[in-house]
Structure 1
Amino acid sequence: MKILDWYILKRYLITFLMMLLLFIPIGITVNLAEKIGKILENEVPFPEVAMFYLDFTIYFAHLLFPLFLFLSVIFFTSKLANNTEVVAFLSSGVSFSRFLRPYMIGATIVAGLALLLGMYLAPEASKGFNDFDYKYFKKNKKAQETGSVYRQITDHDFIYVSSFDAKNKMGQNFTLEHIVDNRLEYKMSARNIRYIEKDSVYRMIDYVKRTIGKDNDILESERRKDTVFSFDLDDLTPLEYIAETLTYGDLNRFIEKEKQRGSSNIGRYELVKYRKWSLPVSVYILTIIAVAVSSIKRRGGMGVNLAFGICIAMVFVFFDKIFGVMAEQSDFSPLVAVWFPNIIFGVLAAYLLYHAKR
């Protein structure tokens, strides 16, 4: 039986690799055709373009991992079925569960690769991909501007800005309140605040500070004031893709820090965290579905299996995106949003596997 295991396992891994090698160049070509004008216009150095497309490859390979895997398993298992190899295996006394074992071994290898990518490699690729995208393709857009921000930055200090531009490190209508034992001790305000990198100071325009006294308040005002704060202004409102650029350990620490600050984007960050674990699990689920669907020889041949498989894959992606948006835009649990598609398709996998065994 080891010959059968090696035969299927090699077909599993080689077909998956070939699927990646087939579709990734197509993705690069389409993206390059779309952005070649801006690359030439901005005179982007070739090494930067090459590094961008290396990051692009890792980023989208990880993003589309389940789809590539699903189609590759359906493709080569359908070929086995059309050549009546599956019938020969099962007719020799091999149970369907035993026939499935090399697929599970292959799924374990691919799931381990997906886990490694999600924890360490994909975050680095995502950072390079997004940084390059904003530097050359979105530099004239206000994609890095946010709405109002109110956060606790220390045990006693609270900060507010009505809008924040991460690209220029500037906040509008700045306020800082220092509160001890539920008592306001002083309050700073400015029309805007900006971090001056070359001087390592914060510059406030139309600065006003009111210190609360027992009898009289002390009022201080200046047209422009440069000072130093213990917080990082650009860290107060991270870019929307920041969670995708952090390794798993850094992401956990980042989420805890954001919870203490009262960030409104916790759902988005936790969604990225939970997906690092749900993706490897989906590899097993989609492998079982693909084998159950394509191991039967059909009158329409491989095309019917591929069409059916593509429909299932699209539904899976649809569920994943819908619940992801719900978690990002509402109070819907990120944990439920990430695992619900796996649960639904896990039930479907069990149902299809039961009927395939029969």
Structure 2
Amino acid sequence: MKKLDLYISKNFLKSFLLSLIAFINIFILSQLFKIIRYITAGRMSISESITYILYLLPKIFIEVTPLAILLGSLMCINRMASNLEIISLKTSGISFRRIVRFPIILSFLISLVVFQVMNKVHPSALTKSRALRAGRKVAERVLPSKKNNAFLRTEDNIVYYIKEVDRVKNAATLLEIIKVDKDFKAIEEIITAKSGNFNYEKNTWVLKDAVVNNLKNKTQKIEKEYIDASLDKAPGDFITIQGDPDELTNTEITQAIRDIRTTGGDVKESLAVLGKRYSFPFASFIVSFLGLSLGSRYVRGASAISIALSVGLGYSYYIVQASFEALSVNGILNPFISGWIPNIIFLCLGVYFMRKAEY
């Protein structure tokens, strides 16, 4: 790293950290009124309120980092432009893209930090903050013991519908099992039973008062006890962990989506959260192009214009991002595409102004 890169990087990081601290303080102050109300209502003690604020910090950090990057970029380059350093460097043959190279690299590294915080720290902190606000203990997520109207489709094209399944007693009532051909076009067999127990030694269901309709052979038989080795899905396979996807890590959300799909549930909300996890952290990297390029254009009234630009552009990004997120939750757009559309729009704007800043 050359002295020029070190000088610019130090200025950028200083501006970013100052902006980050300022925005975090603003967001904490906005929460103080709620916290004071919780304390006066007896829902929290003073020590619990401090812990609650600490649990909120990962969420606040994630939300304000793009704004802090934008304002920090504007302030850093604006200061250099007002001191005629940008003009001097350009006159000496150094391009603007060369000047801002290391701040852009640092912004990308900060985006990676946001990604890790959003994936590993934020879910746990959010769970604890919600529990503290609700006045309950944080419990580990466990599988429910029972589930009504359980649905499951296996890789072998066997479709289960069970009125009630109990994973503790390994029992089920009112089962309907449909076997479909490998192309999933024709039904081969329908099995109904009043009840059933799962035998873990044989790894199969033992059905009671079963009616087996073979549609291929056009036969029907009634069995007091019926065993089919292909019916090997245990009661626990029909039950998934219930929880807010915001409180899960990326790996847990991916697993939850698989479980929900196999049990016939709606995965739109989980997909929207996962799509945002892989797109929003990189907003910090993308808005740095806007901040660095626009910072060289406004020299007089630097502080006021920098703040106005960062707030205006930052909240414009949030509005666009929230709009496309709503489309993904409603199933209109693919969550990963809708998550990256705002990034692509603002990246194009950033590259456009970056080209303009060369002259």
Q: TM-score surpassing 0.5?
A: yes
Cα distance in 2, alignment partners of residues 84 and 176 from structure 1: 80
Tell me what 1:230 maps to.
236
Is 247-256 or 45-54 further displaced after alignment?
A: 45-54
Paired residue total: 301
- Rate the CA distance shift 1:33–1:305 in 2: closer, same or farther, 3 A: closer
Counterpart AA for 2:161: F
TM-score, length-scaled by structure 1 = 0.73
* Deviation for aligned residue 1:287: 0.6
Q: Which has the larger radius of gyration?
A: 2
C-alpha distance after superposition, 1:99-133 (max 9, x if no partner)? 01121231132122112212211222222223334
Counterpart AA for 1:308: L
Secondary structure, aligned partner of 2:265 = coil
- Rate the CA distance shift 1:230–1:150 in 2: closer, same or farther, 3 A: closer
* Deviation for aligned residue 1:11: 1.9
Question: Where do residues 304-315 of structure 1 align in structure 2 (5 Å cutoff)?
Answer: 304-315=305-316
Tell me what 1:177 maps to.
175
C-alpha distance after superposition, 1:27-72 (max 9, x if no partner)? 2232132232233434534554333211101112112321222122
C-alpha distance after superposition, 1:111-163 (max 9, x if no partner)? 22112212211222222223334447xxxxxxxxxxx97643876543579xx
Is 282-291 or 21-30 further displaced after alignment?
A: 21-30
Q: Tell whether the 8 Å contact from 1:69 to 1:287 is kept in structure 2 after alignment.
A: yes
Cα distance in 1, alignment partners of residues 277 and 25 from structure 2: 25
Unaligned runs of 5+ in 1: 137-147, 162-173, 189-208, 219-227
Secondary structure, aligned partner of 1:230 = helix
Cα distance in 2, alignment partners of residues 176 and 67 from structure 1: 56
Q: Tell whether the 8 Å contact from 2:97 to 2:354 is kept in structure 1 after alignment.
A: no
Is 2:42 the counterpart of 1:38? no
* Deviation for aligned residue 1:249: 2.1
- Rate the CA distance shift 1:124–1:178 in 2: closer, same or farther, 3 A: same
Counterpart AA for 2:175: E
Cα distance in 1, alignment partners of residues 251 and 72 from structure 2: 32
Tell me what 1:168 maps to.
none
Is 2:261 the counterpart of 1:259? yes
Is 2:20 the counterpart of 1:20? yes
Cα distance in 2, alignment partners of residues 159 and 92 from structure 1: 76
Cα distance in 2, alignment partners of residues 2 and 229 from structure 1: 63
Is 276-285 or 6-15 further displaced after alignment?
A: 276-285
Tell me what 2:288 maps to.
287
Is 2:246 the counterpart of 1:244? yes
Cα distance in 1, alignment partners of residues 8 and 74 from structure 2: 13
Counterpart AA for 1:152: L
Tell me what 2:65 maps to.
65
Cα distance in 1, alignment partners of residues 3 and 149 from structure 2: 62
Is 2:91 the counterpart of 1:94? no
Cα distance in 1, alignment partners of residues 80 and 115 from structure 2: 29
Cα distance in 1, alignment partners of residues 312 and 80 from structure 2: 21
Cα distance in 2, alignment partners of residues 103 and 67 from structure 1: 15
Cα distance in 2, alignment partners of residues 130 and 232 from structure 1: 28
Secondary structure, aligned partner of 1:178 = strand
Counterpart AA for 1:337: S
Cα distance in 2, alignment partners of residues 314 and 45 from structure 1: 34
Secondary structure, aligned partner of 2:236 = coil
Question: Where do residues 292-307 of structure 1 align in structure 2 (5 Å cutoff)?
Answer: 292-307=293-308
Q: Tell whether the 8 Å contact from 2:238 to 2:263 is kept in structure 1 after alignment.
A: no
C-alpha distance after superposition, 1:155-213 (max 9, x if no partner)? 6543579xxxxxxxxxxxx986331435241357xxxxxxxxxxxxxxxxxxxx98658
Question: Where do residues 272-283 of structure 1 align in structure 2 (5 Å cutoff)?
Answer: 272-283=273-284
C-alpha distance after superposition, 1:246-265 (max 9, x if no partner)? 2222222222222222221x
Cα distance in 2, alignment partners of residues 5 and 176 from structure 1: 71
Cα distance in 2, alignment partners of residues 184 and 133 from structure 1: 49
TM-score, length-scaled by structure 2 = 0.73
Q: Tell whether the 8 Å contact from 2:151 to 2:238 is kept in structure 1 after alignment.
A: no
Secondary structure, aligned partner of 2:13 = helix
C-alpha distance after superposition, 1:253-283 (max 9, x if no partner)? 222222222221x222122223233234322
Cα distance in 1, alignment partners of residues 66 and 174 from structure 2: 47
Unaligned runs of 5+ in 2: 137-147, 165-171, 180-188, 196-207, 213-219, 225-233
Question: Where do residues 308-347 of structure 1 align in structure 2 (5 Å cutoff)?
Answer: 308-347=309-348
Q: Tell whether the 8 Å contact from 1:178 to 1:187 is kept in structure 2 after alignment.
A: no
Counterpart AA for 1:244: D
Question: Where do residues 161-176 of structure 1 align in structure 2 (5 Å cutoff)?
Answer: none
Identity across the alignment (%): 22
Tell me what 1:356 maps to.
357
Q: CA RMSD in A?
A: 3.2
Tell me what 1:103 maps to.
103
- Rate the CA distance shift 1:293–1:33 in 2: closer, same or farther, 3 A: same
Secondary structure, aligned partner of 2:44 = coil
C-alpha distance after superposition, 1:304-327 (max 9, x if no partner)? 343233222121111100010111
Q: Tell whether the 8 Å contact from 1:153 to 1:159 is kept in structure 2 after alignment.
A: no
Is 82-91 or 43-52 further displaced after alignment?
A: 43-52
